[in-house]
Amino acid sequence: MDHQITASTCCYCGVGCGVLIEHDGERILGVSGDPAHPANFGKLCSKGSTLHLTGDLAARALYPELRLGKSLARSRTDWDTALDHAASVFARTLAEHGPDSVAFYISGQLLTEDYYSFNKLARALVGTNNIDSNSRLCMSSAVVGYKRSLGADAPPCSYEDLESSDCVMIVGSNMAYAHPVLFRRLEEAKSRRPQMKVIVIDPRRTDTCDLADLHLAIQPGSDVALFHGILHLLLWEDWVDHDFIKAHTQGLPELENLVRDYTPQMVAQLCAISLEQLQQCAQWVGTSASFLSLWCMGLNQSTAGSAKNSALINLHLATGQIGRPGAGPFSLTGQPNAMGGRETGSLSNLLPGHRDAANAEHREEVATYWGVEQLPNSTGLTAIELFEQVRSGRIKALWIACTNPAQSLPDQTAVREALQACPFVVLQEAFRTTETAPFADLLLPAASWGEKDGTVTNSERRISHVRQAVVAPGEARPDWAITLDFARRLEKHLRPQQASLFAFDTAAQIFDEYKLLTQGRDLDLSGLSHALIDQIGPQQWPFPPGASQGTARLYGHGIFPTDNGRAQFIADPYCAAKEQRDARFPLTLITGRLRDQWHGMSRTGTAAQLFGHVSEAVLSLHPDELRRYRLQPGALISLESRRGAVILPVTPDENVRPGQAFLPMHWGDRFLKGGVNTLTQPAFDPLSKQPELKHSAVRIEPVELPWQLFALVEGDVQQHFERLRPLCEEFSYASLSLAGRERPALLIRAASASAPDRQLLHDIDQCLGLEAGAVLTYDDERRSIGKRVRIDNGRIIAIRLAGETLAQHWLQNLWLEGRATEQLRRWMLAPLSAPPGDGAAIGPGNKTLCNCRNVSHNAVCAGIGRGLDLQGLKQELGCGTQCGSCVPEIKRLLAATARPIAVIS
Ligand SMILES: Nc1nc2c(c(=O)[nH]1)N[C@H]1C(S)=C(S)[C@@H](COP(=O)(O)OP(=O)(O)OC[C@H]3O[C@@H](n4cnc5c(=O)[nH]c(N)nc54)[C@H](O)[C@@H]3O)O[C@H]1N2
Ligand SMILES: Nc1nc2c(c(=O)[nH]1)N[C@H]1C(S)=C(S)[C@@H](COP(=O)(O)OP(=O)(O)OC[C@H]3O[C@@H](n4cnc5c(=O)[nH]c(N)nc54)[C@H](O)[C@@H]3O)O[C@H]1N2
Ligand code: SF4
Ligand SMILES: [Mo]
């Protein structure tokens, strides 16, 4: 078939960029930004622009697999058998144990139509509110924040507001990594209007700080104290909008009483910032013509997440900075359809159309619309509670879709116990490689990005049509189709002889039923349809019937969707984070995102070039901490919390404050033995029930693991991964990653206290293809050292160093450059890091900074050394000229050589 272009959206973050998919109907060949899409106007970041390189078919779930007994292996089956089996297990469980003995755990990466299907299935047919999503880990504090302060869960702003604002406060958000295209828009706006003030509030100095006029590196968890301290100053200086407060708000007197105690001295001390910084911040907030705040997981993922959200919104209400261009509290959504989940009511406490499950009137409205007698009035379980109930045996059948809880939930030991104990786990997944997959009794292959049709809503309330470009591989089906097929089979057990509630043939039909549940409500989008979006482009809700365009900004009239139309000041006191560092666990572990990886890496982890920027799991510590613990960069340590331990190397990082440590959230058990969430805590916010994924108290314990392993094997990365990962269980430390670009390879780094038995090395060599052919071999049995290098057609294609791994960087470099010199043979006998005179080595410093143009960190530093500025680097090296994701980092390197970084505390 000829090449075709299909306009769709990116499946990663909540910016919701439009992409043009180039394909031949079967395979996706390329992606580019959609110039017509109002979120990105043609731009894409490093993740979006590499979408076509991800999703290796060898990693995909291609056909249903069923296990008929816990001790048995899963085997391939057909869709009829799979779904009939699921329906009969669910029907039996419901009959024996009631509707709350089953649960659905779904995802902000589902499409609106998928979400709606699941909701109707759970509430109307099964009769349970046990349906929650991974948005509980992500957006639920923002939902509570908006509802408590403003009356409805509606982010009032537009992306344009970022560009027109005079003061942008970015709190607990590393937009440079997590919402890159939006960050590009902000960068451009600031270069056009340099007088725009940018404040970043983050314990770490991130790439986002590159744009900051002021960076407040506050103590983790101290945001509420900071916001109250700012309000204290706004009131003191009379930088508040009395008319707005009087006409449109209530509750200020109580809040005034509270913040009186948050004196600048106390707040500066609590947050560990200077008085000047606090005052500067309050002045810009209070005196700028327009003030916009942007926030993300640094606020939401907290035991004080709801309080943090409302304390920030308080600042907007006090200054009247809402409902105007360039102003407002703007929560950035993480997942591509986190918003759609909230709209369709896909948290256990919600119902479709911004309704509440606990509200009898709301239940009645939805039940009537669906034509069922009633909706369940029991309280549904939220993610953490849900998995607790699975573990305790109360939940007997669990349906998981489009999320990987065995990687992403906190306190993994408990989560894995729960999944292990659950009598029936269904997993609806696009990739069969995830940490959760081994726990599935029934694995249902889902169509993924580019293979399905529906809608998503981005951070600015804009609904886009996600269009299908190619056919799904194997027997994979769209999520809504799987869910509805199951629902119709379950109906035969539960409502025999009645007309089906699930008679939809297309995603467009589902949308048309769903949208009427929004009619007359704050988010009214009932004027839209798939066809209309195709005609007039993506639109922002509300979009009531008859509208000709969406709504860019809410609350311009100052009337809020509360009982009396007034917004509410919230007077929550500051509470310290649940788990403080102490004498036993003296470090605060912060977790967060990397630029080029997405969550558990089921997709991004299949593209070797996305490992170029950060190649393996390492713990970042301030250089002072390394000195304090007498650790060399790269040294292995055991990182321990009250819940578990993980072994990994350390790296010095000046951007992390002393007393803190940073670990990316992406490394699950597949890539790093144990996985990061073995350490994190399940404590959650009392209102939003969102868990504290950002902070845990940890300590560093030394480990003695002198026997080390390094292995590299080119080609068939997924097959090698699948065969080698189980063998790595034998080692205390095991880290897997990909390397290379055109010729990808799997890399393994491992270590243990003593040499493993010979059989294990033999098995590993077999997987690496080192048992036969042209293999250079060196063995020193007495010292348990063994080296193998396989050469094919003059190129290295596999390496295994055991016992001692000094030359790993040099060898990896030879592999990458396709060199296999005579030196290699001689070197094999010597325990050297590289032959004398051959300095080229992939050190940890030589990462790929610019992924689009494959420009290394070292090349950029060398360019800076030659006196090049940003323009010169762009021209000479090409870096930063495409997606722009690396520009903040290049600027920081430039700044670091030019002068001490000025704005940072
Ligand atoms: N590259 C990439 N982009 C993504 C994703 C991804 O996996 N990879 N995931 C998407 C999703 S689902 C989400 S939710 C978003 C998340 O987007 P962000 O929330 O921007 O990303 P994080 O790195 O999780 O956390 C943001 C920052 O919060 C800071 N922080 C930690 N504790 C505190 C605190 O107590 N107070 C304050 N003020 N800050 C604190 C951290 O240091 C971190 O820099 O990203 C989305 N975009
Ligand atoms: N320590 C720590 N943990 C965190 C966080 C943190 O900051 N720190 N952040 C939390 C946040 S904000 C989030 S949002 C979560 C994310 O956590 P998860 O939801 O577990 O993240 P993903 O890895 O994106 O999981 C989505 C899964 O859906 C699969 N998939 C992709 N496309 C499709 C499809 O079309 N259909 C189906 N059925 N499946 C598909 C993917 O292969 C993947 O396994 O992680 C949370 N966990
Ligand atoms: S900013 Fe990047 S990851 Fe987010 S939607 Fe756009 S291209 Fe995708
Ligand atoms: Mo998220």
Q: Calculate mean pLDDT across residues 492-504.
A: 97
Of the candidates 50, 57, 23, 79, the residue with the CA atom closest to the CA atom of residue 717: 57
pLDDT of residue 834: 67
Best residue among 8, 9, 10 to mutate for probing ligand 3's pocket (most ligand atoms within 8 Å of CB) is: 10
CA of 386 to the centre of ligand 3 (A): 31
- pLDDT exceeds 70 at position 244: yes
Query: What dihedral angle (degrees, nearest 10) is formed by the CA atoms of 866, 872, 875, 880?
Result: 100
The secondary structure element, H or E, covering residue 416 is helix 412-421
As a whole number of angstroms, the distance between CA 389 and CA 426 comes to 16
Nearest CA to ligand 2 atom 17: 408
Closest to 739 in 3D by CA, of 715, 770, 709: 715
Calpha distance 268→272 (Å, rounded): 6
CATH 2.40.40.20 residue ranges of the chain are 587-702
Mean local confidence (pLDDT), 473-482:
98
Q: Which helix (H) or strand (E) holds 131?
A: strand 131-133
Sheet holding 462-466, edge to edge: 454-457, 462-466, 539-540
**Whole-number pLDDT of residue 794:** 87
Question: Phi and psi at residue 700, in whole multiples of 5°?
Answer: -110, 125
* Cα–ligand 2 centroid distance for 600 (angstroms): 6
Whether the CB of 331 sits within 6 Å of ligand 1: no
**The Cα angle at residue 84 between residues 81 and 90, in degrees rounded to 5:** 135
Per residue, what are the HEC states of 562-617? Answer: CCCCCEECCCCCCCCCCCCCCCCCCEEEEEECCCCCCCCCCCHHHCHHHHCCCCCC
The pLDDT-based confidence of 841 (bands split at 50, 70, 90) is low
- Please give the pLDDT value at position 898: 67
pLDDT band at 829 (very low <50, low <70, confident <90, very high): low
Considering every ligand atom shown, identify the ligand nearest to the alpha carbon of residue 220 and give its number: 1
pLDDT top residue among 143 and 781: 143
CATH entry, 4-53, from 1.10.3720.10, 3.40.190.10, 3.40.50.920, 3.30.200.210? 3.30.200.210
Q: Is pLDDT above 90 for 840?
A: no
Round the average pLDDT of the chain to a whole number and report it.
95
Q: Where in the chain is the domain with CATH 3.40.50.740?
A: 74-138+337-540
Phi-psi region at 677: left, alpha or beta (left = phi > 0; alpha = psi -120 to 50): alpha
Q: Report the DSSP beta bridge partners of residue 701.
A: 638
The answer to whether the CB of 134 is under 6 A from ligand 2 is yes
The answer to pTM > 0.85 is yes
Residue 846: predicted pLDDT? 74
From the CB of 174, is ligand 1 less than 6 Å away? Answer: yes
| Ligand 2 close to Cβ of residue 599 (< 6 A) | yes
Q: Could you tell me the pLDDT band of residue 822, with boundaries at 50, 70 and 90? A: confident
Residue that is written with structure tokens 């957006």 in the block: 139
Ligand 1 pocket member 592 (CB < 6 A)? yes
Least confident span in 32-41, 716-725, 842-851 = 842-851
Q: What angle is formed at CA 887 by the lines to CA 885 and CA 891, rounded to 5 degrees?
A: 150
Least confident of 400-404, 721-725, 741-745, 822-826: 822-826
Residue nearest to atom 12 of ligand 1 (CA): 334
Residue 408 in contact with ligand 2 by CB distance below 6 A:
yes
Report whether pLDDT(845) > 60. no
Residue 436 alpha carbon, nearest atom of ligand 2: 44
Q: Which residue has the tokens 């613990």?
A: 629
Q: Candidates 3.50.50.60, 3.40.50.720, 3.40.50.150, 3.40.50.740; correct CATH number of 74-138+337-540?
A: 3.40.50.740
Domain 848-895 has CATH 1.20.1090.10: no
Q: Which atom of ligand 1 is nearest to the CA of 138?
A: 14
Mean pLDDT of 612-637: 97
| Percent of the chain residues topping a pLDDT of 70 | 97
Lowest mean pLDDT among 457-461, 528-532, 882-886: 882-886
Beta strand segments in 811-889, E: 848-850, 855-856
Q: Answer for the pair 314, 570: CB distance below 8 angstroms, yes or no.
A: yes
Which residue is listed with tokens 């005179």? 837
Output the CA 403–ligand 2 centroid distance in Å.
5
pLDDT tens track for 581-615: 999 999 999 999 999 999 999 999 999 999 999 99
In whole angstroms, how far apart are CA 362 and each of 352, 355, 369, 785?
A: 9, 6, 11, 69
Q: In the chain, where does the domain assigned CATH 3.30.200.210 lie?
A: 4-53
Atom of ligand 3 nearest to the CA of 11: 8
Q: Is the confidence at residue 904, as pLDDT, over 50?
A: no
Portion of the chain with pLDDT greater than 90, in percent: 90
Residues with CB under 6 A from ligand 3: 10, 12-13, 15-17, 40, 44-45, 47-48, 179-181
Q: Candidates 115, 387, 593, 665: which one to mutate for ligand 2, based on the most atoms within 8 Å of Cβ?
A: 665
Whose CA is closest to atom 6 on ligand 3?
17
Ligand 2, atom 25, residue with closest C-alpha: 403
Residue 826 has pLDDT above 80, yes or no: no
**Residue 103 vs residues 86, 106, 107, 224: alpha-carbon distances, Å:** 13, 10, 13, 34
| Tokens encoding 583 | 């004498």
| Residue 755 confidence class, pLDDT cut points 50, 70, 90 | very high
The number of helix segments (H) and strand segments (E) in the chain equals 29, 36
Smallest Cα–Cα separation from 599: which of 781, 839, 409, 809? 409
Is it the case that residue 903 has pLDDT exceeding 50? no
pLDDT at 620 over 80: yes
Domain 156-331 sits in CATH 3.40.50.2000: no
Mean pLDDT within 747-770: 96
Chain-centre distance for alpha carbon 571? 31
Output the CATH code of domain 587-702.
2.40.40.20
Residue nearest to atom 4 of ligand 3 (CA): 13
Residue given tokens 């055109």 in the structure block: 742
pLDDT of residue 839: 55
pLDDT of residue 831: 64
Instruction: Give residue-wise pLDDT tens across range 23-39.
Output: 999 999 999 999 999 99
Provide the pLDDT for residue 847: 86
Ligand 2 pocket mutation pick from 202, 384, 602 by most atoms within 8 angstroms of CB: 602
Atom 17 in ligand 1: which residue has the minimum CA distance? 178
**Which one-letter DSSP state was computed for residue 126?**
I
pLDDT digits (tens, 9 = 90+) for 421-459: 999 999 999 999 999 999 999 999 999 999 999 999 999
**Chain centroid to CA 119:** 23
In contact, 340 and 456? CB cutoff 8 Å: yes
Residue 901 predicted with pLDDT over 50? no
Question: CB of 415 closer than 6 A to ligand 2?
Answer: no
- From the CA of 9, give the closest atom in ligand 3: 5
**Chain position carrying tokens 């017509």:** 36
Residue 820 has a pLDDT of 77
Closest ligand 3 atom number to CA of residue 19:
7
Task: Read off the pLDDT of residues 760-817 as tens digits, 9 standing for 90 and up.
Answer: 999 999 999 998 888 999 998 888 899 999 999 889 999 999 998 988 988 998 899 8
